[in-house]
């Protein structure tokens, strides 16, 4: 009887230790994501590497700049725009006042988790309530907007790693 109880206690301690270790690892991952986002929050432009290509992108971090995005512009002015979101979540984007078609690369931490290609600029006089919305299939921390067709040109795929330089 004592041997079975001792064995059960040992198993419980090992299982609990394993769960604690997983939890600690998760916290460390969260911290590194948070640190990465903080680094981006202090910069107007940044170079990112993806699939052996390097892009110079504008960085937007404030609620106002995130809402404005590329709306109303005739051109991007860089290779793209990187949205640093305030927290990991599923965000919805739309193409209000857009003058160009875009590809959206949905990123969690540094990994591409979803891709939306050829989000179309609205036809003239389209009411905002009639605009399609775009969102990823899972939570993200970053969203990269690049000219339509650039995802295919660069061969960007899910699980690609984005390196902030």
Are 83 and 133 contained in the same domain?
yes
Same domain, yes or no: 16 and 82? no
pLDDT of amino acid 107:
96
The pLDDT score that the predictor gives to residue 40 is 65
Residues of the chain with pLDDT under 70: 1-43
The answer to whether residues 154 and 120 belong to one domain is yes
**Residues 123, 67 share a domain:** yes
pLDDT of residue 35: 57
Query: Domain span at residue 140?
Result: 44-164
Give yes or no: residues 105 and 160 share one domain. yes
The CA distance from 124 to 98, in Å, is 10
Q: What is the pLDDT of residue 37?
A: 57
The count of structural domains within the chain is 2
- Helix (H), strand (E), coil (C) string for the chain: CHHHHHHHHHHHHHHHHHHHHHHHHHHHHHHHHHHHHHHHHCCCEEEEEECCEEEEEEEECCHHHHHHCCCCCCCCCCCEEEEEEEEEECCCEECCCCCCCEEEEEEECCEEEEEEEEECCCCCCCCHHHCCEECCCCCEEEEEEEECCHHHHHCCCCCCEEEEC
- In this prediction, residue 36 carries a pLDDT of 57
Structure tokens given for 133: 């919305």
- CATH number at 106 reads 2.60.120.1140
Same domain as 92, residue 160:
yes
């Amino acid at each position: 009887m004592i041997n079975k109880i001792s064995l059960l206690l040992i198993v419980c301690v090992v299982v609990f230790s394993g769960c604690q270790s997983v939890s600690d690892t998760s916290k460390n991952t969260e911290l590194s994501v948070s640190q990465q986002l903080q680094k981006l929050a202090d910069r107007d432009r940044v170079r990112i590497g993806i699939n052996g290509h390097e892009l110079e992108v504008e960085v937007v971090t404030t609620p106002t700049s995130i809402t404005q995005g590329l709306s109303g512009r005739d051109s991007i002015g860089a290779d793209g725009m990187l949205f640093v979101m305030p927290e990991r979540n599923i965000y919805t984007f739309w193409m209000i006042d857009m003058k160009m078609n875009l590809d959206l690369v949905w990123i969690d931490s540094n990994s591409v988790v979803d891709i939306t290609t050829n989000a179309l600029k609205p036809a003239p006089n389209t009411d905002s309530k009639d605009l399609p919305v775009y969102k990823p299939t899972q939570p993200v921390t970053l969203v990269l907007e690049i000219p339509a067709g650039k995802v295919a040109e660069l061969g960007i795929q899910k699980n690609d790693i984005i390196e902030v330089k």
